[in-house]
Structure 1
Amino acid sequence: MTGLADTPASAPPAGPSLASRLRAIFFAGPVTSIATVMLFLIVAMAIFAPLIAPHDPIRLSPATRLKPPSAEFLLGTDAYGRDLLSRVIYGARISLIVGVGAAVFATFIGLVIGLAAGFFRRFDAILMRIVDGLMAIPSILLAIAIVALSGASLWTVLVAITIPEVPRVVRLVRSVVLSAREEPYVEAAISLGSSTPRILVRHLLPNTVPPLIVQGTYICASAILVEAILSFLGAGINPETPTWGNIMAEGRVYFPINPGIILWPGLVLSVAILSINLLGDAVRDALDPRMAKRGIDR
C-alpha cells in the first residue's frame, strides 16, 4: 500500500512522449499547421512591432487623413492620419497581453479555489454558491461594470476580464478533484496519514494540469475577444492606445469611405482567435489519450 500511495497520479503511460504527440498534432494536419503558423506570425508581429511598423502608430497627421492604400501607407490611414498598418501591428501587443494575462491569472486563482472546494467538503457549498452567483452575471456586463467603477486602463481591463473567467476554472478543477479524490491511490495516501499539502500537490494537482492547459487556451481567445468588445464599446483601453477594438470603433463612422479601417483589424482579430481555438483543440487531443486514439486529422 505504501508503494501505491507514493506513486504520482501523473505517471505517464508507456508510449509516445507528450512532445512527440504535440508535434504530430500541431504539424501533421493542415488546418492546425496553418493555425500554428498564423499564431506564430501574430506573436512575432507583437514582439517586433517597433521594427516592423513603418510609422508611429499614435502620430497625428491631419494632412494625410483617410488616405487610401498606397506605397507609403500600405493599408491607408484613419480619420486622424495615423498609419492603419502600424496601428494594427501594435494592436496585437495589447490583445496578447490581455489574453495571456487573463489566462494565467484566471487559471491560477481558479486552481487554488477549485482545489479547496473539491478537497475540503466543508468549504465546498460556500465557495460554489459564490461561484454560481458570479456565473449568473453575463461576463461582458460584469467586465463593463468593473471598468466603469475603476476607470479604463490596461490593468483594469485585465482584472475585469479575468474575474468572469475564474468561476469556469473553479468548476473544472473541482470536478476533476472530486473524481480523483475517490481513486484508490488518493484514499491510500489519506489512510497512511499523508499531509494535506502533499496529497494536493502530489496526487490531485497533476490531474488538473491537462484540462487546465486546454481551458487556458480558450480563456486566452475569449479574453482577446472581450477586450476588443470593450474597446469597441468605449469601455476598454484608452482610445489613444492602438488596439484592434479601438481601431474598429473609430473607423465605423468612416466605413463607407475606407472599409479597411474595420476590415483589417477585424480580420487579424478573427485569425488570432481562430488560431488559438484550433491549437486548444490540438492540445486537448494531445493530452487526452481517448481523443488521440480517434486519429482526428486536423
Structure 2
Amino acid sequence: MTGQTTTVAPRETISPFAKVRDIVLSSPIVMVATALLAIIVLAAIFAPWIVPHDPVRLTPSVRLKPPNEEYWLGTDAFGRDLFSRIITGGRISLVIGVGAAIAAVAAGLLLGLLAGYIRWMDALLMRMVDGLMAIPNVLLAIAIVSLWGASLWTVLFAITIPEVPRVVRLVRSVVLSAREEPYVEAAIAAGSSTWLIMRRHLVPNTVAPLIIQGTYICASAILTEAILSFLGAGINPETPSWGNIMAEGRIYFQINPGIVLWPGLVVSVAILSINLLGDAVRDALDPRMAQRGIDR
C-alpha cells in the first residue's frame, strides 16, 4: 500500500491592522462609530479653519439665540457661537484624552514590568497601587487640581494618576505569566540583563492589551475632564472645552437647553465611538477571538 503525503498549505499571516479593518468593515455599528469619531477628530484638528465664528468673542447683542442660519446651534449667555465653541472645545478634550492614555500606559508599563519581574518590588509597588485604587478617580483628580491650581497640565496629570494603577495591574499580570515561559528562562540562563529581557521578551507580550486599555483610558479621560469642568475643577473657564461649555450653560438650561445638550451629545458620541473601536481592536488582537473565527 502506497502512503500518501498530505500537504497543508501554510496559513496566511494577517497583520493586526488588517484584522481591525476587517472587523470594522464587517460591523455597521463599529463602522458608523469609527466614521463619527474620525469626523470629530478631524473637526477638532482643523477647527481654526472651519469654525464660522470666533469661539471666544463676546457679542451680548445676540446672547441665547436659538439655532438659525448664522448660528447653527445658537449662542450661549455671552453671545458666543455654540457650534464654534464645541468644535474648538474638542481640541482640549481630545488632547486630554489622548495625552492621559499615553501617559498612563507609559507609566503603568514601567511600573508593571518592575512589579511583575522583580519580586522584591512587587509587594511595595502593589500596595501603593491598591492605595490609589481605593480613592475614587474624580475625588483624587479634584484634590490634585485644588492643590496645584487649574491648568491644562494639572488637569492632565490629575486625570492620568488614577488611571496608572489599572495599567500596572494589567501589565503585572501579563509579566507574571510570561516570565515563566521557557524562552524567558533560557534568556535568564544565558545571562541576559534584566532590561534586555524586559525589552525583548516581556514588553511585546503587553502591546496588545495595552492598546486595548489605552482606548478605554482615552474615553474615560474625556468623560472625567467633562465632569471636572462641569464641577468647576477643570481647566480655566475661559478656555472652551466640552465640560466648560456645559458648565456655563447649566444655569440657562430652561431658556436654551441646547447649550448643555449639544456638547453633551458630542461627548457621548465620542466616548461611545472610542469604546466600540476599542472592542474592535480587542476582538482583532485577542488570540481567543481569532481562534473562534478559525473554528467557525
Tell me which interval the TM-score lies in, with the shorter structure as reference length: over 0.9
CA offset at residue 50 of structure 1? 0.8
Structure 2 counterpart of 1:176: 174
Q: Are residue 232 (structure 1) and residue 227 (structure 2) matched?
A: no
Structure 2 counterpart of 1:33: 31
Measure, in 2, the Cα distance between the counterparts of 1:127 and 1:226.
Answer: 25
Structure 2 counterpart of 1:282: 280
CA offset at residue 294 of structure 1? 3.5
Structure 2 counterpart of 1:153: 151
Cα deviation digits, residues 161-182 of structure 1 (max 9, x gap): 0000000000000000000011
Cα deviation digits, residues 47-72 of structure 1 (max 9, x gap): 01011111000100110100111111
CA offset at residue 286 of structure 1? 0.8
In the alignment, structure 2 segments of 5+ residues that lack a partner are 1-10
Q: Are residue 110 (structure 1) and residue 108 (structure 2) matched?
A: yes
Measure, in 1, the Cα distance between the counterparts of 2:127 and 2:35.
Answer: 42
Letter of the 1:23 counterpart? R
Matches within 5 A, 1:84-123: 84-123=82-121
Say which of 212, 215, 228 aligns to 2:213.
215
CA offset at residue 140 of structure 1? 0.5
Root-mean-square deviation (Å): 1.0
Cα deviation digits, residues 13-62 of structure 1 (max 9, x gap): 96322222121012221011011101100000100101111100010011
Say which of 127, 130, 150 aligns to 2:128.
130
Q: Secondary structure at the match of 2:224?
A: helix
Task: Summarize the Cα distance change of 1:14–1:203 in structure 2 as closer, same or farther, 3 Å threshold.
Answer: farther
Letter of the 1:100 counterpart? V
Measure, in 2, the Cα distance between the counterparts of 1:293 and 1:195.
Answer: 35
Measure, in 2, the Cα distance between the counterparts of 1:123 and 1:294.
Answer: 38
Measure, in 2, the Cα distance between the counterparts of 1:27 and 1:91.
Answer: 30
Letter of the 2:73 counterpart? L
In the alignment, structure 1 segments of 5+ residues that lack a partner are 1-12
Measure, in 1, the Cα distance between the counterparts of 2:291 and 2:194.
Answer: 35
Cα deviation digits, residues 187-235 of structure 1 (max 9, x gap): 1111121121111011111000000000000000000000000000000
Q: Are residue 83 (structure 1) and residue 97 (structure 2) matched?
A: no
Structure 2 counterpart of 1:163: 161
Structure 1 counterpart of 2:185: 187
Letter of the 1:129 counterpart? R
Q: Secondary structure at the match of 1:16?
A: coil
Letter of the 2:70 counterpart? E
Higher Cα Rg, which structure? 2
CA offset at residue 256 of structure 1? 1.1
TM-score by length of 1: 0.93
Q: Aligned residues, how many?
A: 283
Structure 2 counterpart of 1:50: 48
